[in-house]
Chains A and B, each alone.
Chain A
Amino acid sequence: MLYVMWLGDNVEHYIKKDRKLSNIPTIKFTNIVKKYPGLVALNDVNLELHKNEIHGLVGKNGAGKSTFVNIMYGRTIADSGQAFIERDGKYVELDLENFSPIEARKNGIYLVPQEPPFALDLTIEENFYLQSPLMKNFLVMDKGMMRRKVQETLDTFSFEYKPTTPLRQITMEDRHLLYTALVTDLFDSDVVLLDEVTSALRKAKCNILFEYLKKVKHKKTIVLITHRIPEIIEICDKVTVFRDGNLITTGDVKDFNESQLADLIVGESVKKPHFGEQYYIPEDAGNEEPLLEVTNFNKQPFFKDINFKLRPGEILGMTGLVESGVIQIFRSLFGIITADSGTIKIEGEEFNNPTPSAALSKRMVYLTNDRIHEGAFQHLSILDNINAGIWDKLLEDNDYGSAAASEKGSTRRSSRRIRKKDELATYNNYKESYNIKANNPNNKIMTLSGGNQQKVVLARLAATKPKVLVLDEPTKGIDVGAKYEILRLMRTSLIGEEKKNGIIVNSSSIEELNIVCDRILVVLGGQICAEFSRNDFDENEIYKAVQGV
């Protein structure tokens, strides 16, 4: 209410009287509304952001936090509402109706999006000064100055790259951090919006970022969107929870603990899934034939001498730093990357010249960690996305996609064409068992929130009735509720009632691996450096092994 008073005619007067600016919001939003057809993305949101604070925005996928940040940056235009920015002790209203990223930048508002918008063939230096190079005079660029500044930024973030390194040679993780560095350090930014930047970063890189944010927060307003609650507790001063387009609460972080935040985000109390011992496989059941056996697997320069077995009913965690080679090991199992040497055996049978489609016919499937580019068919319907793995099977005489038919106790007869009712059977089956929130199977998958998209992609894999699932970051970028649901699915329906299937999973969250795995392999520098069985799970020990200390 106090701020409403400030909005009155005597605003300037009031501010001049009280120069304690740290109590005055640098930017404030009132009554922001944004509606999409059939969906209220933001419902009357009021928010104030202050200097000298790191403000965490949390909420499920589709809760409205990304929409809000996009409105702040002018990528999305609000239906109604006002925004004010503090400038030299005065409030200036931002023209939200005609707002755009250009306007936002003029006002010192910068966004670090989920995808760093770099030109990959240019160098770091060229990318950093792409829009407005420093000039010596009106004809000649000041290359020396630019290089020095870029080098300073690189040093601040402990990068070992040179300003002349092309972006293509930089890992995805570092690109994210690099863009954050560019926006926070090099640009003249007052308000920095970090949209799920940390979801692409491992712990060590996160720490570098957090150290830096702490250092600069006295002169900048920082907004951090994240799904990782511990990060909020660790780094943020204030937190705002969104749910279903509503701002649920704003407050000091020290007033909340992790589970309170989780409850607020989901809107009901969430418990970390806990499975009884009967869900895991006994450690001495080692004599069965392994589902998957990999021996002497090599690929320069990613990994070498990889040997492991996957037992029926086992969930095998395989984790490491981004550059450790885990991703490449997964991809080589499917021939997405061609391995130099080594053998893969599926149920004792050699699997040569792997390709994803050959693997599918051996009932081994892969979930990519890059859902947007390699997972979902963004422009196809939800129905097509769920059935994409079993179109061939839908013609045959079997029980794929026939939840309805199996109730009647009869399997489907073979057909020359794909029947809508079989497709819908798959859809309805997984919509229910995976708790997918979708209105219409014919809507495009991109209309769903991230968590639901991920469930659809997972359902597509599950519909093929796989024996071996290789899941790379199945919970990346999705909210707590959906995360735990996916972990639960892994331990129950994906592993199968009779515990005949096997799962290999990579996750940057050791906590999640601890919940769901029977065994964890840690990969460091392309080699398996440690193995933990369920009885020895210890988050600290595993973390140390991952970091190689």
Chain B
Amino acid sequence: METNKFLRYVNIALTDYIVWILLVLIFLIGCIMEPSFSSILNILNIMGHVVPMAMMVFGLAFLLMLGRIDLSVESTFALAPILANLLVMKWFPFLPPFLAIIFCILIGVIIGYINGFFSVKLGVSDFLVGLAMLLFLRGVVKFVIPEGLYGLPKSFMYLGSARIFNGYFAVSIFILFLVVAVLYIITRYRPFGRKLLATGSNPEAAFIGGIDTIKIQMTAFMLSGALAAFGGMITAGRQLSCTNGMGEGNSMQALAAVVLGGVVLTGGKGTIIGALGGALLLQVIENLLTLSGVNPFLQDAVFGFILLAAIVFQGVRTREPAK
């Protein structure tokens, strides 16, 4: 009985928290191989770096738990802060600058709503809608700021740029923990989280069982948009500007992080803590590769390989017995 229980825990660890086990392993390897890797400064650097990406990852994690997907998060990530700042800086300069923060989140929500409207209400393939929006929104970004946007309002940049403890500790790391805590509570203890997983597990049963599946899905799309916009805001603060290439190519990385974090593509399974682990894992690996002087062009190949390994592992574990 004791061993049975132990095996169950091992099994749970392997399914739900494999990413954290991997993270610890790679961290230890990193400490041994690269002395500079384990310095507090470097760890804080990794943490600060992961924040914007983590926001996209969380949003996507919600959608994937539903069995949905939104590939356009990386374009929302760029467009929302850019439009928000153009609004207060160029188009309506009489508005107080701090409104940019609110506009930014709001634009994220609106883009999420549009994605949701097509995918959920009209029932078009979410994959294709996301792909089209990815291109469309990026096109808009490149059109409105061909050269980038500088001199953003101080209030807008605060969350991304502020540092405390003699400039060691980025405020955005606090924000990350706060967001994780809130999302964790939502998924674990609020009806929304339960309904999310139920809808992902079996949309038909959820609908017939009286769960407002349309509302749940729309909310998830809007949440994903808002989180992506928030991530964009933090990036803008970190680099003290908006560029038209920000976030480009990150959707796929975010997707990789979510899958590494144990969220199942077909929906119905996944945790926020796992998604966080996925985001951190990618960041740690990237950092290690940089520190150890691996050719940066090889990094994508490494990511791809890790993702493939994770997918195969997950697939082998969760597949139905061969028929």
Contact = CB atoms under 8 A, between A and B. Distances in A.
Interface stretch (A180-188, A193-201, A376-384): A376-384
A392 interface: yes
Given A392-B191, A395-B191, A356 B208 contact: yes
Nearest to A464: B210
A357 interface: yes
Contacts of A395: 191
Given A377-B198, A417-B190, A388 B268 contact: no
B147 interface: no
Given A389-B209, A389-B210, A391-B195, A373 B201 contact: no
Interface string B234-267: 0000000000000000000000000000000000
Given A357-B210, A374-B208, A417 B201 contact: no
Given A373-B204, A374-B205, A378-B202, A384 B185 contact: no
Interface stretch (A118-126, A253-261, A358-366): A358-366
A327 B212 CA distance: 22
Given A101-B323, A392-B191, A380 B208 contact: no
B185 to A, nearest CB: 7
B190 to A, nearest CB: 7
Contact of A365 (B189, B191, B195, B210): B210
Contacts of B198: 377, 380, 384, 388
A378 B205 CA distance: 10
A75 interface: yes
Contacts of A387: 194
Interface string B129-159: 0000000000000000000000000000000
Interface string B185-228: 10011110011011001101111111110000000000000000
A417 B185 CA distance: 8
Interface string B164-183: 00000000000000000000
A388 B194 contact: yes
B269 interface: yes
Interface string A307-344: 00000000000000000000000000010100000000
Contacts of A394: 191
Contacts of A356: 207-211
Interface string B263-303: 00000110000000000000000000000000000000000
A157 B245 CA distance: 66
A418 B208 contact: no
A452 interface: no
Interface in A171-222: none
B210 A418 contact: no
A125 to B, nearest CB: 25
Contacts of B202: 373-374, 376-379
Contact of A334 (B194, B205, B206, B208): B208
A127 interface: no
A343 to B, nearest CB: 21
Contact of A378 (B194, B201, B211, B212): B201
B205 A373 contact: yes
B204 A388 contact: no
A374 B204 contact: yes
Contact of B189 (A366, A373, A418): A418
A460 interface: yes
B216 to A, nearest CB: 10
Interface string A58-76: 0000000000000000010
A368 interface: yes
Contacts of A357: 210-212
A417 B201 CA distance: 22
A375 B205 contact: yes
Nearest to B211: A357
Contacts of B188: 417
A214 to B, nearest CB: 32
A416 B198 CA distance: 20
Given A373-B204, A417-B185, A418-B189, A380 B209 contact: no
Given A101-B323, A417-B189, A418-B189, A360 B205 contact: no
Given A75-B323, A391-B194, A418-B191, A380 B210 contact: no
B3 to A, nearest CB: 12
Contacts of A418: 189-191, 194
Nearest to B195: A391
A521 to B, nearest CB: 23
A101 B323 CA distance: 8
Of the listed residues A365, A417, A464, the one surrounded by the most CB atoms of chain B closer than 10 A to its CB is A417
A369 B195 CA distance: 22
Contacts of B206: 377, 388
Contacts of A388: 194, 198, 206, 209, 211
Given A391-B191, A418-B194, A380 B268 contact: yes
B197 A380 contact: yes
Of the listed residues A75, A336, A387, A418, the one surrounded by the most CB atoms of chain B closer than 10 A to its CB is A418
Given A388-B194, A395-B191, A418-B190, A460 B201 contact: no
A509 to B, nearest CB: 23
Interface string A478-510: 000000000000000000000000000000000
Contacts of A373: 202, 204-205
Contact of A377 (B189, B205, B323): B205
A501 B206 CA distance: 24
A41 to B, nearest CB: 14
A387 B268 CA distance: 16
A334 B189 CA distance: 29
A376 B198 CA distance: 10
A375 B206 CA distance: 8
B269 A379 contact: yes
Given A75-B323, A417-B190, A380 B201 contact: yes
B183 to A, nearest CB: 14
A379 B201 contact: yes
Given A356-B211, A389-B209, 16 more contacts: A336-B208, A356-B207, A356-B209, A368-B205, A373-B204, A375-B205, A376-B205, A377-B198, A377-B206, A380-B201, A384-B194, A391-B191, A391-B194, A395-B191, A417-B190, A418-B189
10 contacts: A101-B323, A336-B207, A356-B209, A374-B202, A377-B198, A377-B268, A379-B201, A379-B269, A380-B197, A380-B268
Interface of A: 75, 101, 334, 336, 355-357, 359-360, 365-366, 368, 373-380, 384, 387-389, 391-392, 394-395, 416-418, 460, 464
What are the 3 A-B residue pairs with the smallest beta carbon separation, nearest first?
A: A360-B210, A417-B189, A391-B191
